[in-house]
Structure formats: C-alpha cells, structure tokens
Amino acid sequence: MASVSINYVELPATNIAATKKFFSEAFDWRFVDYGPDYASFLGAGLDGGFYTSELSATTAQGSVLVVLYSPKLEQAQQSVEEAGGTVIKPIFEFPGGRRFHFTCPSGNEYAVWSE
C-alpha cells in the first residue's frame, strides 16, 4: 500500500476577510488569495485554506477539531482574545497537557494545547 499523509486542510469561512485578519493578528499566519472566495494560509504548521461558506465547523455539529500547538498557552489564549476570537472553553487540564477551545470570527471551533 502507498504511504498517504495529511497534506492540506480546507476550512469554511463565513467571512474570509475577518478570518484572515484574526489568524494574522493572533498567530502571525500569512495568506494568499485565490479570488474572493478562497484564501490559502501559510505558517500554520500544515498548509490549508479557507473557502466561503455559510456554515461553520464545531464539535457540537460533529466536525473535526483542528488542534494547534503553543509552548506558551496563556499567551496564545490572550492573543486569541485580543484578535477578536471567543474562548469557549478556558484553559483546562487533560491527560498529556493543557488546552483551551475558541471560535474564530467565522464561528469555527479550534483548540490550542501545550504540555
């Protein structure tokens, strides 16, 4: 069987401009626009893109949870809040580390973890 790995992820965005602004400010991600309905992101550890959609991705709706990593969890949570994200689960412990969950301006849920 051929080796297969995750190479790229595409996420919905109800507002691509606001989503790009948020991730740029919160995490210093970079973007390349491919027309008004798609923007790829770079500098996130795994490349991907945001496409225009009226839907958002949350675990309550059965979506995959994109989990980011930061060695400075409190600073990451502060950056999320300052950039306009909404913390929906403040920092908590789980087996293996600590994390928090947030939503971006497009309503997608993410988590950030640290040891």
> What pLDDT is stored for residue 28 in this prediction?
97
Query: What is the Cα–Cα distance from 78 to 69, expressed in whole angstroms?
Result: 14
| SS3 at position 9 | strand
Indicate whether 4 belongs to any domain.
no
pLDDT tens digits along 51-89: 999 999 999 999 999 999 999 999 999 999 999 999 999
Indicate whether 58 belongs to any domain.
yes
> What pLDDT is stored for residue 72 in this prediction?
97
pLDDT tens digits along 3-28: 999 999 999 999 999 999 999 999 99
Indicate whether 3 belongs to any domain.
no
> What pLDDT is stored for residue 1 in this prediction?
83
Backbone angles phi, psi at 64, to 5 degrees: -65, 140
- Number of structural domains (the chain) is 1
pTM for the whole thing? 0.94
Query: What is the Cα–Cα distance from 80 to 99, expressed in whole angstroms?
Result: 13
What is the residue range of 78's domain? Answer: 9-114
CATH of the domain at 57: 3.10.180.10
